[in-house]
Every structure is written in C-alpha cells, then in structure tokens.
C-alpha cells in the first residue's frame, strides 16, 4: 500500500490533488496523504507543494552531507576521496574530489555507477566509525570500494549493497 501511495504522491501536487482517495488511507472519508513512516493527514489541512520527499535517514549520504551531526575525526569533510580510500581511487575520481562533495552530488537517478559507489561508500565509511553495530568495518568498506572499481557492474552492485545497509542503519 505504501508503494502505491508513494507512486501517486510523487506525481500529484497537494493543491490540485482530488484523486488521492481514502481507500489507501484506511477508508476514512476525505482525501489523505500517506508518507511512509509518518502519520496521515487530510489534504485540506496541508499547505501546497509536493507530497513526496526524499528520505534522509540518520545514515544516508543526504544526512551526512547536510552536516546535521559531527563527522568523525578520521574522515574530515575536506579530505580527498583518494586520500581516504587509497591511491587506486585516482583511476576513477578526480584528485580534488572531497568526501563531502561526493555525498552532496545529486545524481541519484542518472549518476554513473562510480559516482553512486563513492557516494554510498563514503556514507558507509562514516557510519562504520559512528554507528555501533554497523555491519562493515572501515577497512572492509575501503577494500570493497577499491575492488568494485574494476567495472561498472561491480560498482553498481557494491553501491547497491552499501545503499541497502546505509538505509537500514539507524
């Protein structure tokens, strides 16, 4: 049900949305919005704008790039990607690219496999230092990024894996 509402919400504007029905919101009368993880509220009580917002959990690249929490001292925001992950990263990334810039990139849909890899790997690295019980150690994350640089398929697969653990983390 949340998937259907998310798809509908992505396409509809609050101000002109009369087609989002209550069948998806528990059968109560009126037009409602549903956002996963949040309460429902009638459209009549909402301000104009898009219904869908991109999630920013406590472990995602979006969270870390917003600087809402202090970064660990082992990974300064201005550190170059190659200095954090190792010199083989220079094969795919510009020497000036910082970890913060890698996570700030807005290429979630059309971005290359390698930009997704460095974005998700950077967030995973910060999570490994700051989140107790994170499933990877910093050394594993660095090694897995370097191993995934061999092909787009490997980069896509590893980026997806890191994205999954980043979104599952709390």
3-class SS of residue 63: helix
**CA–CA separation, 77 vs 28, rounded Å?**
48
In a domain, 62, yes or no: no
**CA–CA separation, 58 vs 169, rounded Å?**
7
Listed in sequence order, the residues at least 6 apart from 127 whose beta carbon sits closer than 8 Å to its beta carbon are 59, 134, 165, 166, 169
Write the pLDDT tens digit of every residue in 82-94. 999 999 999 999 9
Residue of 40, 13, 39 lying closest to 29 (CA atoms): 40
Residue 110's pLDDT is what?
59
* 167 within 8 A of 55, measured Cβ to Cβ: yes
For the residues 14-38, what does the mean pLDDT come to?
39
Chain mean position to CA 21: 29
* 157 within 8 A of 164, measured Cβ to Cβ: no
In a domain, 117, yes or no: yes
Q: How many CB atoms neighbour CB 43 within 10 A?
A: 17
In a domain, 12, yes or no: no
| Length in residues, the chain | 170
In a domain, 27, yes or no: no
Residue 109's pLDDT is what?
57
**CB < 8 Å & 24+ apart, contacts of 44-50:** 46/14, 47/14, 48/13, 48/14, 48/15, 49/13, 49/14, 49/15, 50/9, 50/10, 50/13, 50/14
Q: How confident is the model at residue 69 (pLDDT cuts 50, 70, 90)?
A: confident
Higher pLDDT, 110 or 167: 167
In a domain, 6, yes or no: no
Q: Which domain holds residue 148?
A: 80-168
Instruction: Give the range among 30-34, 103-107, 127-131, 133-137 with minimum mean pLDDT.
Output: 30-34
Residue 40's pLDDT is what?
52
* 112 within 8 A of 96, measured Cβ to Cβ: no
In a domain, 3, yes or no: no
For the residues 28-36, what does the mean pLDDT come to?
43
In a domain, 106, yes or no: yes
In a domain, 102, yes or no: yes
Pairing of strands 41-42, 32-33: antiparallel
pTM given for the model? 0.65
Number of domains in the chain: 1
């Amino acid at each position: 049900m949340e998937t259907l509402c998310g798809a509908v919400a992505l396409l509809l504007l609050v101000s002109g949305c009369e087609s989002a029905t209550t069948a998806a919101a528990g059968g109560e009368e009126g037009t409602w919005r549903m956002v996963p993880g949040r309460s429902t509220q009638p459209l009549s009580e909402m301000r104009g704008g898009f219904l869908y917002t991109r999630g920013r959990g406590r472990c995602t690249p979006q969270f870390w790039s917003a600087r809402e929490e202090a970064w660990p001292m082992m990974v300064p925001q201005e550190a170059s990607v190659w200095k954090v992950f190792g010199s083989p990263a220079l094969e795919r990334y510009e020497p000036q690219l910082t970890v913060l810039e890698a996570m700030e990139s807005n290429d979630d849909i059309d971005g290359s496999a390698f930009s997704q890899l460095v974005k998700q790997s950077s967030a995973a690295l910060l999570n490994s230092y700051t989140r107790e019980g994170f499933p990877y150690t910093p050394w594993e994350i660095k090694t897995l990024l370097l191993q995934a640089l061999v092909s787009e398929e490997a980069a896509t697969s590893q980026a997806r894996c890191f994205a999954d653990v980043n979104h599952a983390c709390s």
